[in-house]
Amino acid sequence: MAKKPVAVITGASEGIGHGLAVKLASEGYVCVLAARNEENLRKTADRVSDAGGEYVVAPVDITKEAEVERLFRQATKAGDLALMVNNAGIATFKAVEEITLEEWQSMLDVNLTGAFLCTREAVKLMKKTRSGHIVFINSFSGKRALSWGGGYSATKYGLRGLADTVRIEVRKSNIKVTSVFPGSVDTSWWDKFDYDFPRDQMVTVDNVVQAIWATVSQEGRSVIEEIDLRQVGGDF
């Protein structure tokens, strides 16, 4: 029997990563569930299991080079890497003069350096099989600046630059690259902030998962390179 394709999903312990892992598992991927909080990863694993899927629970801090290298060794043991989803992300929303160096550095470390480390390992593996797909979960803030988003937007603009560069470098190796730019999504992300945004008007995790699946499930030579996903009523 053919081995199942492997998907590494960072930030699989919550929100978009959690929902995406359940969908990919139901579509036949072995999901490597990557994030720091092992207890929450096990909750995702339970849902993956309920969907009849296979998984590897892989606690990792993606800002640590050695931990990311270990993550991809774990993925290799599960089979051929078909999909890498750079989803883990953090934000501090403040006016630029109020952002501490520590907050700035943390956003750069997770949103940009973490994605770089994971992408580097994924490209090495995918080049060997001359196949694969790398998805970057960016943000509307990666295309348009918003007040209080100085540090976050800077990392997401940078992530867009990384994705666009990688796409050019790997297309000759038959590796696909997609960036997804969602507006506000109703996830636990918003529990961390003292904002009163109407959660019931936000895009849902299911909406984002459907959009990602639309590109991941493209067959043959086709790839959807960018997805802008916003609520019909506009952003806040």
Ligand X SMILES: NC(=O)c1ccc[n+]([C@@H]2O[C@H](COP(=O)([O-])OP(=O)(O)OC[C@H]3O[C@@H](n4cnc5c(N)ncnc54)[C@H](OP(=O)(O)O)[C@@H]3O)[C@@H](O)[C@H]2O)c1
> Which residues of the chain form contacts with ligand X (CB under 6 A)?
10-11, 13-17, 35-37, 40, 60-63, 87-90, 110, 114, 137, 139, 182, 184-185, 187-189
Cα–Cα distance, 75 to 1 (Å, whole number):
19
| Residues whose CB is less than 8 angstroms from the CB of residue 57 and which lie 6 or more positions away in sequence, other chains included | 33, 38, 41, 42, 45
> Would residue 152 show up in a list of annotated catalytic residues for this protein?
yes
Active site residue: 29, 55, 152, 195, which one?
152
Cα–Cα distance, 176 to 219 (Å, whole number):
11
Q: Among residues 42 and 127, whose Cβ is nearest to ligand X?
A: 42
Burial class (CB in 10 A: 0-12, 13-18, 19+), 137: buried
Q: Among residues 173 and 204, whose Cβ is nearest to ligand X?
A: 204
Nearest to 216 by CA among 51, 16, 20: 20
Rounded to the nearest whole angstrom, what is the least distance from the CB of residue 172 to ligand X in the complex?
28
Angle, vertex CA 214, rays to CA 68 and CA 10, nearest 5: 15
Cα–Cα distance, 15 to 9 (Å, whole number):
12
Rounded to the nearest whole angstrom, what is the least distance from the CB of residue 88 to ligand X in the complex?
4
Q: Among residues 145 and 174, whose Cβ is nearest to ligand X?
A: 145
Rounded to the nearest whole angstrom, what is the least distance from the CB of residue 183 to ligand X in the complex?
6
Q: Among residues 78 and 88, whose Cβ is nearest to ligand X?
A: 88
Rounded to the nearest whole angstrom, what is the least distance from the CB of residue 175 to ligand X in the complex?
21
Query: What residues are labeled active site?
Result: 152
